[in-house]
Amino acid sequence: MQPLPVDNSPLPVGGAGLRELLFRPAGDTALDIFLGDRMDRALSDAVLAMAMRIQAAQMPGVVEAVPAFASLTVHYDPLVVSYEVLATRVRSLGHMPAASTPPRRWRVPVCYEGTGAPDLDHVAASVGLSRAEVITRHEAQSYHVYMLGFLPGFPYMGDLPTELRLPRRGSPRVAVPAGSVAIANAMTAVYPLNSPGGWHIIGVTPVQLFDPSRRSPSLFAPGDVVCFEAVTAFELGRLEYYAERGQWSLQPEPMDRSRIP
Amino acid sequence: MTAALRIIEPGLMTTVQDLGRPRFQSLGVPVSGALDTTALRAANIVVGNGQGTAAIEMMMLGPSIEVAADSVLVALAGAGAALDVSSSDGRRTIPTLRSVRLTRGDRVRCVGLDQAGVAYLAVGGGFDLAPVLGSRSTYVRAGLGGVDGRAIRVGDVLPLNELDAAKGVEGTGRGLDLARPSVLRVLAGEDGIDFSAEAVATFLGGRFVVSASADRMGLRLDGLRFDRAGAGEGLSEAIAPGAIQVPPDGQPILLRADRQTVGGYPRIAHVISADIPAAGRLRPGDAIRFAAVGLAEAVAARASLEQAIAQFGVRIDNRKGTPEIDDAALMAENLVSGVSMGDES
């Protein structure tokens, strides 16, 4: 196999977790760009900045740039642009985070009680905390949306406080209801749809994360900041009631309280 | 009067598909779309549609359909597949890649899918279904597209865009090979750096059989298991079309149209884009092996497939009662094809 005639020499990089960019083809219609090999906020910022630059550049043949934790994949049409030309153009865009507008912040209401939190006791016992301590710690953190995947609109958010980290369930659930708030390893997430799932479910939110009829089908975007706020079962029911009737939907902060009936 | 197709029997896994929704992967939305885009495009060409018009995809067991329109031009694409048409003046068999004008009350069964693996029923003018995120492709897991985001059921009524087939002309397409593959070309080594050179060599020398776990999301391949020692683990990356990933049990999975957008399993190779439509035809029990090509060869193969589709000709059947075309003879002509279907590579 011939080596590819692409310049893979190190680029000057900086910041925690960043390493030299590594380009490689993933089949003949995708270009993988690796910025590092671990989960890291600075690295994620660089990935997302690079994705935005690629999207903004509107290069011929580029279908979409898809960010992940420490890498970025550019889907392209090889009959419009070659791998070599694309890699060179992408490289010239750079990947250092630009001074940008502050990220959107969301405060997500979560009911950590009852049937919506089937794994809370197990999580508490496993990590040696009380239920209340698990909730307090989950709430106390601001989470960064690293990427969306697994299901439409499913946000991989981190980093979970170290004392709450557990591997996934031994056997995944066949059915996890939409709105379930879950944790696994260093991540927390909200299931946007009913689906099978292997994460520990510690709460439920009335927020609808994915709706293809919305102008932005996914509520969250990579780079957003998400906090959770405990609500009572009564409040959950009230918000669900209004959400189902289209009279309430989550807005980014500063939260417009007047929109809540 | 409205125009529609009514589903008498749904078949096993019958969905509406077009060329998918490739521009929402960063939101976690799978591309979906036809498993075999070459057959989809061919079916559309035969009925005079744009190549990416949504059609009915079927596997294993096809649907039976009643025409609830004054007339409609339809064509089935899939090697060896045929339309079994029952109308007031008798019963006819219409072979693959041939369009036929049906009239109200005609019933048509899609048969012979054993050989095809997957087949597409295109209708002149297409279905009057709302696109979701720019596509009518059905993605069942999230309930997107098609008919209410699900597989087609008995009693479904699929509305047509055209009230009748006044503009439609019956014709026969020729020159595209839609056979199930025994070899798929892959990029491996260049992009398979998740695995050692030895593992990649073993993969390329291996013979696999498509297991019973085969659906629109992927195919499990029996035959060899791969030790993932040293393979990148855990940190999810975006998944490219044609990816062959190796989960913890070591058994490779060839990902298909409904693949997730991101995943953490290491990939040992990628099927080249020219052969992804052929991979869409694979069904449980099929023997398959993989042949490595370089990136330049992959792009040339893709260009050649596109050329074959561009040159795919439809001969107008302008005479009433044209004799049935011998399908085997048509396939044997195999005029132009960029897809490697045999052991020639």
Distance separating alpha carbons of residues A257 and A247, to the nearest angstrom: 13
CB A194 within 8 Å of CB A177: yes
Q: What CA–CA distance (Å, rounded) separates B64 from B100?
A: 16
Q: Where in chain A are all domains bearing CATH 3.30.1360.40?
A: 22-93
Q: Which part of chain A is CATH 2.40.100.10?
A: 105-259
E strand or H helix that includes residue B187 = strand B183-187
Q: What is the pLDDT of residue B233?
A: 52
d(CA A36, CA A14): 11
How far is residue A27's CA from residue A78's CA, in Å, rounded to a whole number? 10
Residue B326 has pLDDT above 50, yes or no: no
User: Is domain A22-93 given the CATH code 3.30.1360.40 in the classification?
Assistant: yes
Quick one: pLDDT at residue B225? 85
Check A69 against B242: CB less than 8 A apart.
no
Q: What is the pLDDT of residue B322?
A: 46
CB contact under 8 A, A51 and B26: yes
Rounded to 10°, the helix A83-93/A41-57 angle is 120
Q: How many whole angstroms separate alpha carbon B119 and alpha carbon B141?
A: 21
Collapsed DSSP state (helix, strand, coil) of residue B205: helix
| A39-82 tens-digit pLDDT | 899 999 999 999 999 999 999 999 999 999 999 999 999 999 99
| Comparison of pLDDT for B225 and A254, the residue scoring more | B225
Token code pair at residue B85: 């048409």
**Residue of B28, B141, B306 with shortest CB distance to A149:** B28
**Minimal CA–CA distance to A17: which of A45, A44, A36?**
A36
- Name the more confident of A255 and B135: B135
Confidence grade of residue B231 (pLDDT, cut at 50, 70, 90): low
Q: Are A112 and A135 in contact (CB under 8 A)?
A: yes
What pLDDT was estimated at residue A123?
97
Q: How many whole angstroms separate alpha carbon B278 and alpha carbon B210?
A: 14
The tokens describing A106, both together, are 């969301």
- Supply the pLDDT for residue B335: 35
Q: What would the pLDDT profile of B21-53 be if each residue is shown by its tens digit?
A: 999 999 999 999 999 999 999 999 999 999 999
pLDDT digits 0-9 by tens, A203-230 = 999 999 999 999 999 999 999 999 999 9
d(CA A184, CA A154): 14
Which chain B residues have a beta carbon less than 8 Å from that of A63? 22-23
CA dihedral sign of residues B61, B115, B129, A248 = positive
What is the arithmetic mean of pLDDT over A168-196? 94
Residues of A with CB below 8 A from B338's CB?
A: none
For residue A26, list chain B residues with Cβ-Cβ distance below 8 A: 191, 240, 243, 267, 270
> How does the average pLDDT of chain B come out, rounded?
89
- Name which CATH class applies to B183-299: mainly beta
**Across residues A123-152, what is the average pLDDT?**
96
| Rounded Cα distance, B101 and B243, in Å | 40
Contacts for B65 with CB less than 8 Å, ≥ 6 apart: B5, B6, B7, B8, B107, B108, B109, B110, B121
pLDDT in tens, B57-87: 999 999 999 999 999 999 999 999 999 999 9
Residue with tokens 């339809």, as numbered in its chain: B74
Separation of alpha carbons B114 and B92, rounded Å: 20
Cβ contacts below 8 Å, chain A against chain B, sum to 151
- Lowest mean pLDDT: which of A21-25, B118-122, B179-183, B304-308? A21-25
Q: Where are the beta strands (DSSP E) in chain A?
A: 22-25, 30-34, 62-67, 71-76, 105-110, 143-148, 155-158, 173-176, 180-184, 187-190, 195-197, 200-204, 225-230
Measured at the CA of B287, the angle between CA B282 and CA B291, to 5 degrees, comes to 90
CB–CB of B243 and A27 under 8 A?
Answer: yes
Q: Do B187 and A27 touch (CB under 8 A)?
A: yes
A132 by Cβ neighbours in 10 Å (0-12 / 13-18 / 19+) ranks as exposed
Tokens encoding B197: 């050179």
Name the band, by pLDDT with cuts 50, 70 and 90, for residue B12. very high
- Residue A260 pLDDT level (bands cut at 50, 70, 90): very low
Residue B166 has a pLDDT of 81
Partners of residue A30 in chain B, C-beta under 8 Å: 238, 240-241, 270
**Residue B198 — very low, low, confident or very high, per pLDDT cuts 50/70/90?**
confident
For residue B337, which of B7, B30, B42 has the smallest C-alpha distance?
A: B42
What was the pLDDT predicted at A237? 96
Q: How far is CA B9 from CA A113, A239, B65, B303, in A?
A: 45, 42, 7, 39
pLDDT band at residue A97, thresholds of 50, 70 and 90? Answer: low
Cα angle for residues B101, B136, B267 (degrees, 5° grid): 120
A15-29, A99-113, B41-55, B173-187: least confidently modelled range: A15-29
Q: Which residues contact A193 (CB under 8 A, 6 or more apart)?
A: A151, A152, A153, A178, A210, B141, B142, B143
Closest residue to B292, CB basis, from A1, A26, A151: A1
Say if residue A8's pLDDT is above 70: no
pLDDT of A7 over the 80 cut? no
SS3 assignment, position A178: coil
Confidence of residue B165 (pLDDT cuts 50, 70, 90): confident
How far apart are the C-alpha atoms of A5 and A26, rounded to whole Å? 16
Domain with CATH 2.40.100.10 in chain B: 183-299
Q: B193 falls in which pLDDT band (50, 70, 90)?
A: low
Say if residue A254 is preceded by a cis peptide, omega within 30 of 0: yes
Q: How far apart are the first and last CA of chain B?
A: 54
Domain A105-259: which CATH class?
mainly beta
CA B204 to the chain's CA centroid: 25
- Give residue-wise pLDDT tens across range B248-289: 888 999 999 999 999 988 899 999 999 999 999 999 999 999
A218 to B267: CB separation less than 8 angstroms, yes or no = no
Q: Checking DSSP bridges between strand A105-110 and strand A225-230, what pairing results, if any?
A: parallel
Report d(CA B147, CA B157) in Å as an integer: 9
Given a cut of 70, whether residue B114 has pLDDT beyond it is: yes
ipTM for the predicted complex comes to: 0.89
Reported as a pLDDT band with limits 50, 70 and 90, residue B192 is: low
Candidates B284, B279, B329, B322; CA nearest to B96 is B329
- Token match 């026969």: residue? B172
Residues A26, B240: C-beta atoms closer than 8 Å: yes
A156 with A41: CB under 8 angstroms?
no
Give pTM, 2 decimals. 0.89
Report residue B319's pLDDT band, with 50, 70 and 90 as the boundaries. Answer: low
SS3 B262: strand
**From A63, A65, A152, residue closest to B28, measured CB to CB:** A152
CA gap A204, A189 in Å, rounded: 11
Q: Is the pLDDT of residue B324 over 70?
A: no
Rounded-to-integer distance, Cα A30 and Cα A86, Å: 10
Q: To the nearest 5 percent, what fractions of chain A are helix, strand and coil?
A: 25, 25, 50
**Whether A30 and B29 lie within 8 Å, measured CB to CB:** no
- Amino acid at residue number A11: L
Nearest Cα of chain B lies from the Cα of A35 at a distance, in angstroms, of 12
Which amino acid appears at position A161 of this protein? P
Query: Tokens 């043949």 — which residue?
Result: A61
Evaluate whether B340 touches B293 at the Cβ level (below 8 Å): no
Interface with B, mutate which of A4, A28, A83, A154 (most B CBs under 10 A): A28
